[in-house]
Chain A
């Protein structure tokens, strides 16, 4: 698991992206509980990464950082926040060596000794020359992350670069691959590795075309592009679920005003005492498409099923393994309780009945279309007269489904349960009061 987990950078970027430009340096720093000096240092470092990843934009450096990473719909096919995953710091000598090794292998397969020679002759004089042991360790690492592999044949082994994807496909096939990767990274989960692959393929295609800029044909509307920040924790958690291992983490509940809405200092940057240390057996990860947010659902030895927002998780550590039996038992229980969750509510199920009103003759029935598209497992039945239809769903509690119902405005009427019906009436009264004076 990652020692350097980038919790600070992630939190910093999330706040920057979500509040885009709301705070002054001082206010921003206050909310994260850091000094303005640390704020400036962090911005400087992130800018460095961004400008290095985004070539050919020297003037970008002077631009306000928040503006640089702001969401612009028409340019949104390049996921701006991807650079976070490029931010792992590395010694100059190591980054030089690894890239030299890959460049040499890009030419032809080579043995470790040949690579040592290639490295020594190409490294700048200012850097200490590597020894054989270092090169062998580098090769082992590159092999482990799957970038190179040993070729078949007698010793000494030759290594070759493992990039058949680029080498064996024709230009047309490469275009199809690029499109597919772009579409899947944007519409499916997880997406992080897809964005990384897209980035590599994009540069490769551009080289094949002699650097001629390409037009990005695809855009994705109503895409929660900042969700990749939360994917940073996803793989560690998925790994722990597969290994039937508990995880420990310091949790900052987003509800508790620890980061955005209050002036409480954020202990992430200073003291570790204000978050809550939690240990839980992870069982499922849930992605909520309504808000573009991630949840971890797990089993807590004292409190049973517990839910956490992924954005509140920091300093994740693997814990002990549990038996397959215990894991299966907990998972079965969670699956049972989740069966009727609109999002993640595991409370008691209630039957919700709603009458939806069709928009009228001659108008395409966008109401029904949307109910069928988003109504999850609810059922739809037309009513006599053709003016309306009934929607019925067994759902855990009414809190999570309520915003969706409200979003239909006057196109629907809650019939049951009576409590929800009454709440709707009260809320519409309040909303009406907001605008009556206008």
Chain B
């Protein structure tokens, strides 16, 4: 299977778009057939749809990757699909509000909260789905595990309210944006590729100071992601050094000091 088949050529693609033609190759069907074997498929489709898809793909071979492709250091796959994805996706794309009942970490629960849902987010680290929403009464951005949502009922949202809420969410997100500068310690420049790979899951900008032969990665993140970024920095250890932003630096110092104390070193 060649991923560079001429059928995928961009000129063909844009001409098909002009003529309104939908095309699907054997490669894509084989991929789909393989994915339909995943347990998530039975949750994602009604039984009738699943059977029809299976019939349509009957003559296509599945991709043969069993035993050939190995995953290492992955988080356990707790969840790929969740029953609430369909109704919540409908609410988001239908520009609606939802009335939510949900629990939080310490065991408390809330019911009938009016929410403006704006994204469904899957964490590749935690392997779980979250609903990102705006709490109308508390005027706060929220992130709730779908697993913790007991009920979500769609509620209509007037068009002007929708536009206003969307603008509010965007500005709150902008306010929560932080940046940190990660300097690649020069003696580890040879490992730059590995280090850049590790940060490739963030929005980032890299600067290179040719005179000092020094790389600085400016990472953008939301303030609630601070802990994850710190764990990445600890993960890379002495290869990188956080510059700027006293808080993050103090946290790194605290980690190192406390870690040494665990070993009886002061």
Contact = CB atoms under 8 A, between A and B. Distances in A.
Contact of A18 (B32, B68, B197, B238): B197
A257 B228 contact: no
Contacts of B204: 20, 71
A177 interface: yes
Contact of B14 (A55, A236, A261, A424): A55
B159 interface: no
Q: Label chain A's interface by main secondary structure.
A: helix
A194 B49 CA distance: 19
A111 B155 CA distance: 53
B4 A6 contact: yes
Interface string A156-174: 0000011111101100010
B231 A219 contact: no
Contact of A376 (B70, B73, B127, B193): B73
B2 A1 contact: yes
Interface stretch (B108-116, B134-142, B146-154, B247-255): B247-255
Given A21-B205, A106-B21, A222-B124, A193 B193 contact: no
A223 B252 contact: no
B184 to A, nearest CB: 9
A438 interface: yes
Contact of B4 (A5, A73, A184): A5
The number of chain B residues touching the other chain, given as a range, is 35 or more
B256 A72 contact: no
A236 B70 CA distance: 16
B122 A176 contact: no
B211 interface: no
Nearest to B105: A364
**10 interchain residue pairs of minimum CB distance:** A146-B26, A410-B258, A193-B31, A99-B15, A432-B256, A22-B206, A103-B19, A409-B255, A435-B253, A86-B10
Interface of A: 1-2, 4-6, 17-23, 27, 49, 52-53, 55, 70-74, 83, 85-90, 92, 94-96, 98-100, 102-103, 106, 141-142, 145-147, 161-166, 168-169, 173, 175-177, 179-181, 183-184, 186-190, 192-194, 196-197, 200, 203-204, 207, 214-215, 217-226, 231-232, 235-236, 238-239, 241-242, 254-255, 257, 259-261, 284-293, 311, 338, 341-344, 357, 362, 364, 372-374, 376, 400, 402-404, 406-410, 412-413, 421, 424-425, 427-432, 434-436, 438
19 contacts: A22-B207, A71-B200, A74-B173, A95-B15, A96-B15, A98-B6, A147-B7, A147-B26, A168-B56, A169-B52, A176-B44, A194-B28, A203-B22, A221-B124, A235-B1, A261-B193, A407-B231, A407-B232, A408-B231
Interface of B: 1-17, 19-32, 35, 38, 40-41, 44-46, 49, 52-53, 56, 60, 63-65, 68-78, 80-81, 85-86, 88-89, 92-93, 95, 105-106, 119-127, 173, 185, 189-194, 196-198, 200-208, 210, 215, 228, 230-232, 234-238, 241-242, 246, 249-250, 252-263, 265
